[in-house]
Amino acid sequence: MQVIKAESAKGKPVLGICNGAQILVETGLIPGLHPEHLEMALAWNERVKNGKILGVGYYNDWITIRHNSKPGRSIFNRFNSKILMHIPVAHGEGRFTTKDKTVLKNLIEKDQMLFRYCDAQGKFIDEFPVNPNGAMYNLAGVCNPEGNVMALMPHPERTIKGQPIFDSLASYLKNTTKLHIKKIPAKKTDKTMNPMEAVEKKTTKEDITILVRLIITDNEERTLENTLKNIGYKNISLYRQTYLGFFTSNKKNLEQTAVNLIESGEILNLNKEIPTVFIGKKAYSYSKDNGLQKIADPTAKGHNVIALEYDNYAGKNIYNTLKNHEKIPGLQKVERGIYWTVYLKKKNEFENVIGTHIFHNPHSMKLLTP
């Protein structure tokens, strides 16, 4: 990425599609208002219509996009804005969002909102299915201020309908005339759009916590641990689990409620995942034959944090499923996030590890201690 940053600074084209778009956002190249600062997130998809949650997470379908910027604003939009592109999306985390209201304002003012989701007639409708992931401003693609770097979530490379973007790039590369976009330096009075949120103490206590771990190797856990080791935290170990917090008005026999939740098949797959249950200060393992069995808290010796989406649509989706199909007595709310247990030989390194933003992007998530 350091090489890509250096080459993009020379004006060379950089196009990040889907996972590539996520990388450009997480490394600060996009939106690039204040280089090296984290100013946006590509968050968990939210499919919402008329205020109703239709689904969250991975989504694969054909959508339509067009650019509403001045043709030639970027290397990638040197064509008429009336051209519509019917192309696929295939992602789980593609929702452009930011917690900094000035970022959206600046992106509009500087015409960096390059490609937006629209209907078959080119109209922007901020609702599923036209907006397939709930992205702010129907955003599908964002360029940097200079216009030579673009983060695009849909896949124009998978169909001839996406050819205008690549024809635009080819036209630029063949043309000896340089892109006529001046670099826009950040003003000294501008805010630093790099919100480093301190880890907060979780203020609401769920009645039942279920942590879910994969039986097989968790590739995300291994990847993040290796990344942290590569940047200098040599003695770190990570333990990743899915966090599920259940709030209920019925406090009687919470152990049986936990068993009912597990055996519903809606929150985990017992063929490939292992649950650990916490009720009050007690921890339990679970097996089909023996039910809940008391165990020592397996997370007690580490630093524990929960990465939780601000709007908790994933938890709301699980709640709706359980409420409509499983009839769990007294169930009021469900939270879903990622539970990280961090083991370090040097305790004072924990704050620095959190500061890498490797566990969460503060524009889409909060980080809590349980």
Whether 358 and 228 have beta carbons less than 8 Å apart is answered as: yes
Higher pLDDT pick, 367 / 54: 367
- The three state secondary structure string of the chain is CHHHHHHHHCCCCEEEECHHHHHHHHCCCCCCCCCCCCCCEEEECEEEECCEEEEECCEEEEEEEEECCCCCCCCCCCCCCCCCEEEEEEECEEEEECCCHHHHHHHHHCCCCCEEEECCCCCCCCCCCCCCCCCHHHEEEEECCCCCEEEECCCHHHCHHHHHHHHHHHHHHHCCCCCCCCCCCCCCCCCCCCCCCCCEECCCCCCEEEEEEECCCCHHHHHHHHHHHHCCCCCCEEEEEEEEEEEECCCCCHHHHHHHHHHCCCCCCCCCEEEEEEECCEEEEEECCCEEEEECCCCCCCEEEEEEECCCHHHHHHHHHHHHHHCCCCEEEEEEEEEEEEECCCHHHHHHHHCCCCCCCCCCEEEEEC
Mean pLDDT of 171-187: 63
Distances (CA, A) of 271 to 277, 286, 288: 17, 13, 11
pLDDT tens digits, one per residue of 29-57: 999 988 778 899 999 898 988 888 788 88
Q: What is the pTM of this model?
A: 0.82
Domain ranges for the chain, please list them.
2-174, 200-369
Question: What whole-number distance in Å separates Cα of residue 335 and Cα of residue 327?
Answer: 17
Write out pLDDT tens, residues 235-292: 999 999 999 999 999 888 999 999 999 999 999 999 999 999 999 999 999 998 999 9
The mean per-residue pLDDT over the stretch 94-109 comes to: 91
Residue 179 reports pLDDT greater than 70: no
- In this prediction, residue 168 carries a pLDDT of 95
Q: What is the mean pLDDT of residues 1-15?
A: 91
Which pLDDT band, with edges at 50, 70 and 90, does 317 fall under? confident
- Find the length of the chain: 370
Closest C-alpha to 330, from 250, 264, 254: 250
Please give the Cα distance from 114 to 139 (Å, whole number). Answer: 8
Query: What phi and psi values does residue 96 have, to the nearest 5 degrees?
Result: -60, 125
CA distance 328 to 319: 10
Residue 190 has pLDDT above 60, yes or no: no
Write down the pLDDT at residue 201.
87
Cα–Cα dist 305/341, whole Å:
7
Fold of 2-174: Rossmann fold (3.40.50)
Q: Residue 226: pLDDT above 90?
A: yes
Please compute, for residue 146, the number of CA atoms within 13 A of its CA located in the half-sphere on the CB side: 19
Does the pLDDT value for residue 67 go beyond 70?
A: yes
pLDDT at 346 over 90: no
For the annotated catalytic residues, the residue numbers are 18, 155, 157
- Answer with the residue of higher pLDDT: 31 or 355: 31
- Give 365's pLDDT tier (boundaries 50, 70, 90): very high
For residues 62-71, average pLDDT:
94
CA separation for the pair 326, 321 (Å, rounded): 7
Amino acid at site 278? F
